Structure 1
Amino acid sequence: MQIKSFSARTLDANALKSFAHPLRLRIYELLDEHGPSTATGLAGLLGQNTGATSYHLRELAKHGMIEVVRGMGRGKEKYWRVVPGGFSYGEPPAADDDAETAGAMEYLLDDLVRRRGAELARWRQESAEAPEEWVEVSTYGRRSLRLTPEETARMRDEVFEVLERYRAASDGRQDPPESAGHVVVHFDVLPLGAGRRD
């Protein structure tokens, strides 16, 4: 079954291996949440030296994960941001075919699960103090359905089409409205038990 891509690109094996690094993942998270920053600013947040953050920023940029923001900074100062459009991890390679890439994929998927749990826990805490309009529009959702693989693919693609519309609107803004916030959407389709051999 063909899987549609709803991101700007799918990471290749080299990008996967490069991204599967704790400091690079953290740098990416900080840029995603807080917006553009310099190597010096990130070094302060991460407790690293500027040389280390500069190196990891260049590695992320080499694989198209982040980019320099034109028109920001003075002299040689560079502000970095996440490349709009996002990315996907693609199909996991078989461990026999490419053990290093398969290991990187496992690491990234485990980190994705960790981040989702941390973001849910963070919102649970923050929601008690958040402005009422944000509490009203937030939601937790879970559905348990009985679907065929074809129905599941159709549902997944329809949800991603909606998310893609809002991602394009978000990425296309030069100056977001003052009311705009950093909104995270978790969406998983998990055919639990599908791999069971009874």
Structure 2
Amino acid sequence: MTQGKSFSARTLDTNALKSFAHPLRLRIYELLDEHGPSTATRLAALLGQNTGATSYHLRELARHGMIEVVPEMGRGKEKYWRITPGGFSYGEPDSDPETASALEFLLDDLVRQRGEELARWREEEAGAPEEWVRVSGFGRRSLRLTPEETGELRDEVFAVLERYRALSDRREVESPAPRDPSLGRVVIHFDVLPVGAGRGTPGETTSPGS
């Protein structure tokens, strides 16, 4: 990973990385992101798990600050959980093999999730409301840049995303439910990849046999 400015509220520490690198916890986090605040019972039904197991994994996520209880929701012992506002980043690669393995697992899952979300939108687009189709978009650019320019580009884009993340987080905290029907869950995929960096100079091509 490229060292740069963090635009998230926190960077996951070693213990949080290892804890998060668990298939069921990742799925729970995805469901909370997709559906908003949920109880252990509802999540268990969506996952095909028992409530006890789901509650345990929710507590583990909360222990590392990934999710939190929504104080305005729930009755008695019933708890509604939501993603902790502010976002997070995975940080830099670690020399500890176990932590490095957890980070690789999380990054591979991120690639998997992005592919699934793109494929799902391609299927849903034809039946989606026209106002959402109009503002959606796919984009790819191939540029010739220095490492310094690439870092500046990344930071400028993340600064824009941070503005809208803060707006979204305020809405989640101020009005957890019911949700404004005009709001939609919008996913932004953004990657900066120096193509070919692992084979030499990024963007450089070699002829067969050279």
Of residues 109, 112, 119, the one that matches 1:111 is 109
In the alignment, residue 192 of structure 1 is paired with which amino acid?
V
1:51 equivalent in structure 2: 52
Runs of 4+ in structure 1 deviating by more than 3 angstroms, as ranges, are none
CA distance in 2, matches of 1:116, 1:162: 20
Instruction: Tell me the SS of whatever aligns to 2:199.
Output: coil
In the alignment, residue 104 of structure 1 is paired with which amino acid?
A
Q: Deviations over 1:13-58 (max 9, x none)?
A: 1000000000000000000110000111100110100000000000
Taking structure 2 as the reference length, what is the TM-score of the superposition?
0.90
Give matches, 1:11-22, under 5 Å: 11-22=12-23
CA distance in 1, matches of 2:44, 2:186: 25
Give matches, 1:27-46, under 5 Å: 27-46=28-47
1:137 equivalent in structure 2: 135
1:68 equivalent in structure 2: 69
In the alignment, residue 161 of structure 2 is paired with which amino acid?
L
2:90 equivalent in structure 1: 89
TM-aligned CA deviation for residue 195 of structure 1 = 2.4
In the alignment, residue 10 of structure 1 is paired with which amino acid?
T
Give % identity: 79
Q: Deviations over 1:56-112 (max 9, x none)?
A: 00000000000000021110000000001110101111xxx3111011001000000
CA distance in 2, matches of 1:38, 1:83: 15
1:192 equivalent in structure 2: 195
In the alignment, residue 177 of structure 1 is paired with which amino acid?
D
1:77 equivalent in structure 2: 78
Instruction: Tell me the SS of whatever aligns to 1:128.
Output: helix
How many residue pairs align between the two structures? 195
TM-aligned CA deviation for residue 117 of structure 1 = 0.2
2:123 equivalent in structure 1: 125
Instruction: Tell me the SS of whatever aligns to 2:126.
Output: coil
In the alignment, residue 102 of structure 2 is paired with which amino acid?
A
Which 5+ residue runs of structure 2 have no aligned equivalent?
202-210
Which 5+ residue runs of structure 1 have no aligned equivalent?
none
Taking structure 1 as the reference length, what is the TM-score of the superposition?
0.96
2:151 equivalent in structure 1: 153
Contact 2:21–2:105 at 8 Å: present in 1 too?
yes
Give the greater-gyration-radius structure (CA).
Answer: 2
Contact 2:14–2:99 at 8 Å: present in 1 too?
yes
CA distance in 1, matches of 2:19, 2:148: 34
CA distance in 2, matches of 1:108, 1:179: 32
